Amino acid sequence: MKSAKNVMVCVTQQKTCERLIRRGAELRDAYEGQLFVVHVTQEGWNFLGKSKEGDALEYLFEKSKAHGANLTVLRSNDVLTTLKEQVEKNNIDIIVMGEAGGDYEENSIISSLGKRLHENVIFEVVPAKLKKKVV
């Protein structure tokens, strides 16, 4: 019998993050855990001041809700520490993040966050675009 695993999906205010939430829901269902969707923004940034950003967050809220997760929006000047706190608070086993531009680099947010967490936390990186299969 597999043990339940909690999943945290890290999103930005882009509507393209729906694919991350969908993948998080798949993992949650496979491991019978809970799903947490988290967005961290810098303190002082007016992320709801622009209608496009507000629309994007509303969209992410609706997609999170549709997949049985709450969207948590946090303000922090230390994004990595805030994400680490969410991992610890919610007993996260798997973190879903989108693929950043370029290759996996030593100074990427995934690498930096991974160094702060216990070794049992798994990162699932979702590609920006699905690559077509060559038949």
pLDDT at 41: 82
3-state secondary structure at position 75: strand
Is the pLDDT at 127 greater than 70, yes or no? Answer: yes
Q: pLDDT band for 37, please (50, 70, 90 cuts).
A: very high
Give the H or E element holding residue 113: helix 109-116
Q: pLDDT band for 42, please (50, 70, 90 cuts).
A: confident
20-29, 88-97, 100-109: segment of lowest average pLDDT: 100-109
Is the pLDDT at 35 greater than 60, yes or no? Answer: yes
Decide if 63 contacts 24 (C-beta within 8 A).
Answer: no
Tokens of 16: 């393209």
Domains defined along the chain, listed by start: 6-126 (3.40.50.620)
The pTM of the full predicted model, rounded to 2 decimals, is 0.84
Tokens of 96: 């879903």
Is the pLDDT at 103 greater than 80, yes or no? Answer: no
Q: Residue 114, class by beta-carbon neighbours within 10 Å (0-12 exposed, 13-18 middle, 19+ buried)?
A: middle
Give the list of residues 6+ apart from residue 60 with CB closer than 8 angstroms, or none.
Answer: 11, 13, 15, 17, 18, 21, 37, 39, 71
Query: How many degrees, rounded to 5, is the angle at CA 58 between CA 55 and CA 60?
Result: 110
- The predicted model gives 100-106 an average pLDDT of 55
Give the list of residues 6+ apart from residue 118 with CB closer than 8 angstroms, or none.
Answer: none
- The predicted model gives 23-31 an average pLDDT of 97
Q: What are phi and psi of 23, to 5 degrees?
A: -65, -40
17-21, 41-45, 81-85: segment of lowest average pLDDT: 41-45
Instruction: Answer with the residue of higher pLDDT: 42 or 118.
Output: 118
Q: pLDDT band for 131, please (50, 70, 90 cuts).
A: low
- The predicted model gives 76-96 an average pLDDT of 96
What is the sign, positive or negative, of the torsion defined by CA atoms of 124, 127, 132, 135? Answer: negative
